[in-house]
Amino acid sequence: MSPRFEDAAQKLASANDLLAEIARVGADRARGGYSRHVFTSADAELREWFAGAARARGLQVHTDRNANLWAWFGAPGVDAVVTGSHLDSVPGGGAYDGPLGVVSALAAFDLLRAEGFAPRRPLAIVVFAEEEGGRFGVPCLGSRLLTGTLEPERALTLRDGDGTTFADAARAGGHDPGHFGRDTETLGQIGTFVELHVEQGRGLIHLDAPLAVGSNIIPHGRWRFTFTGQGNHAGTTLMDDRRDPMMPAAEMIGAVRRSAAAVPEARATVGRLVPTPGGTNVIASQVDVWLDARLPEPGSVRDLVTEIAEKARAAAELEGCTVDVREESYEGTAVFDPALRDRLTAMLGGAPVLPTGAGHDAAVLAPFVPTAMLYVRNPTGISHAPQEFAEPGDIDHGTVELARVLRSLAG
C-alpha cells in the first residue's frame, strides 16, 4: 500500500464518513434496514446527496438518458476509466450493497486529488439506476437500458406493486422516459469499468483476506409464476368447492427447495409472494410467486426452472387453477476481463479471486467493455438483510486499493 495514500486517507472524508452522511436516508422502520427504491423520495434524496458530494469535489455531474448519474473527475471523454455502483436497495436491505461502491469511489477520487493526480484517461463515477429491481421486478434497469440489453418498450411498461409504470415513476422523478434506451454515446465513453462491492457471501471470511478480485458471475434470472383460481369468501366456501391459487403456490415453494437441493451448486428462492387481493378472510383469486434461480454452468438454470414449472402446473391442475410462467429477467455467465483481473490481482499483492452468485451492473457491462470487480470482506457473510456489514478498516483499505487501481488504469 502506498504510504502517500495512507497519509492522505487520514486527512480526508473517508468512505465511512460518507456512509454516515446517508445513514438515515431510506431507513425502513417497518422492515428494518433500508428500502431505497428507484424514483422514490429516498432515491431522490440519495441522488441529490451524490450530486452535491460530487460537485463539492469539483466533479462534473450529469444524468444520462437512462437516469444513471455520472460524476467526472475532469472533462468527460471516451476510453474513460469508470467506477461506481448503485444506491438503490432491496426491501429492508443492508447499508453497503451498492452504496459502498459509490462512497469508496468518491473517497478514492479525494485521495487521487490530494495526490495531485492528473489522469491521462477520463475518469468518472457512475451511479446506476434500479440495480436491485426492488420496485419494478427487473434488475439492473439503468445498465440494461444503457447497453440496449433491455428494450425500453418493455422497461417503460413494468409496474410496481401499486400499479405505477416505470415510465410514470420516471416522469415523476424528473426524467424523460422518451429518452430511455440504448445510449451508444455514453456506452462509447466507458473504456474500463471497475465496481467495488461488499462481498455477499463468506469467501473472504474463509480466506481471512480483506479484499478480492471478481472472476465471474453465475447465470441467474427471475421468473414470475401467476396462479389463477377463484376469489371467494373464506367463511362460506366449503373446502371441496375451492379453487384456491394459494395451494399450488405453496406446493411450488416446496418444489423449488427440493428441485434446487438436488442440483449441485443451484440456488433457488421464493422471496416474494403476492396474493390478490390479499385479505385474511378472502380466498385469493390470483397469486404471483417470484422465483429467483441461479446455477453455474455447465448446469442450466432454465432447465431447473422448467422442472419447477412442471411441478407447479401439476399442482395448479389438482386445485382447478391455472399457472402462467413468465421469464422476467435472465443474465448468462458474466466473465470479467481476464487481463484486467490479472492486472488487479497483481496490483493488490496477489488478492484472492472469487466467483459470485450475486448479480451486478458490472455483469451487464462485461460483454461490452473490459470490466472488473473488487469485493470487500463482509464479516457477517450476510447480505440483502440489515446484518450486512463491512469493518471500517476494510472499507478504508478497499478505498485505498480502489484509488491505486484507478491511478494505474487512468494514469
> Alpha-carbon distance 152 to 141, whole Å?
9
Name residue 374's beta-bridge partners: 196, 213
Closest to ligand HGY by CB, 97 vs 183, is: 97
Smallest separation, CB 363 to Mn ion (Å): 11
Site map 114..133 versus ligand HGY, x via CB under 6 A = -----------------xx-
- Using alpha carbons, select from 328, 269, 323, 330 the residue that is nearest to residue 302: 330
Site map 97..116 versus ligand HGY, x via CB under 6 A = x-------------------
- Answer for which of 359, 364, 378, 402 binds ligand HGY (CB under 6 A) is 359
- Does 358 interact with ligand HGY (rule: CB under 6 A)? yes
Name residue 213's beta-bridge partners: 353, 374
- Does 221 interact with ligand HGY (rule: CB under 6 A)? no
Closest to ligand HGY by CB, 130 vs 160, is: 130
Q: How many CB atoms lie within 10 A of CB 191?
A: 17
Residue number with the smallest Cβ distance to ligand HGY:
359
Smallest separation, CB 197 to ligand HGY (Å): 8
Burial letters for 195-220: b for 16+ Cβ neighbours within 10 Å, e otherwise?
A: bbbbbbbebbeeeebbbbbbbbbbbb
98 binds, among ligand HGY, Mn ion, none (CB under 5 to 8 A by kind): Mn ion
For 392, the enclosing helix (H) or strand (E) is helix 392-410
Residue type, 3: P
Smallest separation, CB 220 to Mn ion (Å): 12
Closest to Mn ion by CB, 97 vs 401, is: 97
DSSP H helical ranges for 148-292: 152-157, 166-172, 184-189, 203-207, 246-261
139 binds, among ligand HGY, Mn ion, none (CB under 5 to 8 A by kind): ligand HGY
Smallest separation, CB 183 to ligand HGY (Å): 21
Closest to ligand HGY by CB, 13 vs 138, is: 138
> Alpha-carbon distance 246 to 3, whole Å?
61
State phi, psi for 264 to the nearest 5 degrees.
Answer: -55, 135
Smallest separation, CB 21 to ligand HGY (Å): 23
Q: What is the maximum span of the chain, computed from C-alpha positions, in angstroms? A: 77
Closest to ligand HGY by CB, 132 vs 195, is: 132
Q: How far is CA 358 from the centre of its chain?
A: 8
- Using alpha carbons, select from 411, 401, 353, 410 the residue that is nearest to residue 192: 410
Q: How many CB atoms lie within 10 A of CB 318?
A: 11
Closest to ligand HGY by CB, 171 vs 302, is: 302
- Answer for which of 101, 137, 139, 229 binds ligand HGY (CB under 6 A) is 139
- Does 93 interact with ligand HGY (rule: CB under 6 A)? no
Is residue 384 a contact partner of residue 97, using CB atoms and an 8 Å limit? Answer: yes
- Using alpha carbons, select from 172, 210, 205 the residue that is nearest to residue 67: 172
- Does 97 interact with Mn ion (rule: CB under 5 A)? yes
Smallest separation, CB 141 to Mn ion (Å): 13
359 binds, among ligand HGY, Mn ion, none (CB under 5 to 8 A by kind): ligand HGY
Binding site for ligand HGY (CB under 6 A): 97, 131-132, 139, 358-359
